Amino acid sequence: MRRRTLSALAVGVSSLALLAGLAPSATATGDREDRGGGAHENSTRAYKRVGYFTQWGVYGRNFQVKDLETSGTAAKLTHVNYAFGNVGSDGKCFIGNVPGEADAWADYVRPLDAAGSVDGVADTADQRLAGNFNQLKELKARHPGLKVLISLGGWSWSTHFSDAARTPASRKAFVSSCIDLYIKGNLPVDGARGGAGAAAGVFDGIDLDWEWPGSEGDADTVFRPEDKQNFTALVREFRTQLDAYGATLKKRKRYELTAFVPTAPAKIDAGFDVPRIMRDLDFVNLQGYDFHVSGEKTTAQQSALFADGDFSVHQTVRDWQRRGAPARKLVVGMPFYGQGWTGVTGGGDGLGQPAAAPAPATWSPGYEDYKVLKKLADSGTYTLHRDRRNGHAWLFDGTTLWTYDDPQVLRVKSAYVRAQGLGGAMFWSLDGDTPDGELITAVDRGLDGR
């Protein structure tokens, strides 16, 4: 399989100024959009800035919705994708309190005090909506142009997608259940919380994160050869029902529909009829990371912009474009974390060398938030290495290696987005950034050409 780097662009990676100078004009790259109340009302092009907020991040990481406000991140985003909503064995969206499957407490039950609330007002015992959903609603009140989407699935919760999408009847029921729960906001009653319309107005659309139609995902995730055609039909059903519901509102509303999509050409071909789904999707978030992961036996880059004969951001963009995706609907995923290995042997800078195991980390072996890696880089115990031609960085102390994106790498990637006329940038996940939003600021400035 050929994944060649275009020489002119590869040379351009070493020069941020060159890439920025190649950026097309707004009229050449797509439609402008209203981002009222945001920091970019006068930007030459409204690039999308999509950040995933994790449901579980409010616990161990203690990353709250309010942190999006205090860090300045909310003002730099166009979209917040709430991760995740689950699909039950009955093929319908659901919320509840089931360990490992659903967390209504985090979603809409948990009360926030005044110090933890976006608006500085404590939740009351009798209000119908609390938790993350209410805080997102408060955040939108502060930033009227900000859109919040519910992201369905993810690696662990894609288990029943194939079943839900299998027939016209199952698709119709699945989509209807998701719209009822998240768009109409009809939440299950949990004490004083929930009820009909309790979460109305929180979500502005749906993000489909089925990993992966037609090919292997998590161990218990079902996949079938017919997933490709069924995913296409599912996207069409979501578009149809979202449009129909939006047309019934007193103030007509168009709800957005997006998807997270893979980098591997084999997975693209197995599950995605690109020209047809792109007609119904507002945009797709490209997998721009996990090209290599800490479970592998050899260290490697996880998110390079260019890489001869290997996965890369540029290869992902080109593979989607070759299959019919318009550039303006391609949003490049950027990691706010790193992949790491320990027991690395072979010397040198550590890259491409045998490793014994995933590196020890705060929450999960081999996976570490950028804010922690920044401290390692500043500690003096690690050497920071850069491949300026191919656009990636890594830390190595002689034994342990972490591959990750820092502000310098993200500025280059942002310039690439501009130069290629792409739709914008996506971030997994917002809780990995520093308290002052160092990474989101680098991308924000890069997309604005600052």
Is 33 marked active-site? Answer: no
Tokens of 310: 């290997």
Q: Which of 41, 69, 138, 211 is catalytic?
A: 211
Residue carrying the six token digits 């998701």: 178
- Which amino acids are annotated catalytic? 211
